[in-house]
């Protein structure tokens, strides 16, 4: 058998499968998009800013270290955001919200990077509360250092809080690359569009899924295998899912959801202080202070005295 001949035939057969008709934008190569390695490197640099000492020795000169890390991050993000911005107005992924092309992509990406950098102190402040929530919420956590160095839930929420800020600045692709990279590391899948309050804690973590339009309040605790998902996907006249609508639950302050429970629906609201037991399947709202448990043929929602204000950490 002539292997070279088969290689040539295979190469020739592949060429039309990479037609320009498949590209997201006219006159744009199929592979002209943000580089995965660079996006992940930016996330790593920011992770070291947010938790110095986790990957490298803690610096003696914090300001000098931050200046170096943030400068390197800004340079990477400016280039990768410039590559990502044209996807704002690509037709296939934005049928319901047509966008006008940006005249000066370099200037737009620079403005986004500058706005993003201003969010980093707030991200750090939120993560301090997340570390405290993990330490106070898990009797197995013996120090803040243990949480920072060993807890996959903190890795996931760190990545999410970074990606969420870029998502809010309407950066295409890059927030999702960050979240899916972290998903592959931790087994925790948080869409960058999800809004998550302070003092958030995922215990154990594996298999947790949090959808794009979730709204999660303060001091919420989730266990492994929890899904906060969509109940259905409304379709447009072309049979495609309608985007940018509320599809996922709202979880109010001080809620605990135990392992392997599933809560679905954009109109589902889990009231403040509710506890959802393990292995519950829930598609309805609960009053504040409820206890939700499995029952034959469905679930039981029992109200109890609502927790007092300020019960969180």
In tens, the pLDDT along 86-115 reads 888 765 444 445 677 888 999 999 999 999
Which own/partner contact pairs does 205-213 have at CB distance under 8 Å and 24+ positions apart?
205/151, 205/152, 205/153, 205/156, 206/152, 207/260, 208/156, 210/248, 211/247, 211/248, 212/247, 212/248, 213/245, 213/246, 213/247, 213/248, 213/266
Per the structure, the count of domains in the chain is 2
Q: CATH number of the domain that 161 lies in?
A: 1.10.3130.10
Beta-carbon count within 10 A of 163 CB: 27
Residue 73 has pLDDT above 70, yes or no: yes
pLDDT at 194 over 90: yes
Residue 7 predicted with pLDDT over 70: yes
Half-sphere exposure (Cβ direction) of 193: Cα atoms closer than 13 Å? 15
Which has more confidence, 202 or 88? 202
Please indicate, yes or no, if residue 198 is contained in any of the structural domains: no
One domain, residues 176 and 280: no
Whether pLDDT at 301 is above 50: yes
> By residue range, what is the domain housing residue 132?
33-188
pLDDT in the model for residue 308: 36
* Burial class of residue 189 (count of CB atoms within 10 Å of its CB; 0-12, 13-18, 19+): middle
Q: Inform me whether the pLDDT recorded for 137 exceeds 60.
A: yes
Of 134, 155, 188, the last residue of a domain is: 188
Residue 259 is part of a domain; what is its CATH number? Answer: 2.160.10.10
Residue 19 falls within a domain, yes or no? no
pTM of the model: 0.89
Write the pLDDT tens digit of every residue in 217-258. Answer: 999 999 999 999 999 878 888 788 888 889 999 999 999 999
Structural domain ending residue among the three candidates 135, 159, 188: 188
Residue 285 located in a structural domain = yes
Is residue 211 located within the same domain as residue 184?
no
- Residue 36 predicted with pLDDT over 90: yes
CA-atom Rg of the chain in angstroms: 22
Q: 160, 188, 216: which is the final residue of a domain?
A: 188
| Res 303: pLDDT | 85
């Amino acid at each position: 058998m002539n292997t070279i001949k088969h290689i040539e035939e295979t190469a020739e057969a592949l060429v039309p499968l990479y037609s320009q008709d498949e590209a997201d934008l006219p006159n744009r190569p199929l592979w002209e998009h943000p580089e995965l390695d660079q996006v992940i490197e930016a996330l790593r640099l920011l992770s070291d800013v947010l938790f110095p000492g986790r990957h490298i020795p803690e610096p003696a000169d914090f300001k000098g270290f931050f200046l170096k890390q943030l400068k390197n991050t800004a340079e990477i993000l400016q280039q990768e955001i410039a590559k990502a911005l044209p996807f704002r107005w690509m037709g296939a992924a934005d049928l319901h919200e047509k966008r006008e092309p940006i005249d000066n992509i370099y200037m737009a990406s620079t403005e986004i990077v500058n706005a993003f950098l201003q969010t980093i102190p707030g991200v750090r402040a939120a993560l301090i509360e997340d570390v405290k929530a993990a330490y106070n919420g898990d009797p197995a956590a013996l120090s803040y250092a243990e949480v920072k160095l060993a807890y996959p839930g903190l890795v996931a929420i760190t990545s999410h809080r970074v990606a969420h800020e870029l998502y809010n600045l309407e950066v295409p692709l890059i927030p999702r690359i960050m979240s899916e990279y972290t998903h592959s590391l931790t087994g925790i899948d948080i869409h960058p569009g999800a809004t998550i309050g302070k003092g958030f804690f995922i215990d154990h973590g594996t298999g947790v899924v949090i959808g794009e339009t979730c709204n999660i309040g303060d001091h919420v605790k989730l266990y492994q295998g929890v899904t906060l998902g969509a109940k259905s996907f409304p379709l447009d006249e072309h049979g495609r899912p309608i985007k940018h609508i509320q599809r996922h639950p709202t979880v109010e302050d001080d809620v605990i959801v135990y392992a392997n429970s599933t809560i679905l629906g954009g109109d589902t609201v889990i009231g403040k202080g509710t506890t959802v037991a393990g292995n519950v399947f829930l598609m309805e709202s609960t009053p504040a202070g409820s206890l939700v448990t499995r029952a034959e043929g469905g679930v039981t929602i029992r109200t109890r005295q609502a927790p007092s204000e300020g019960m969180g950490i």
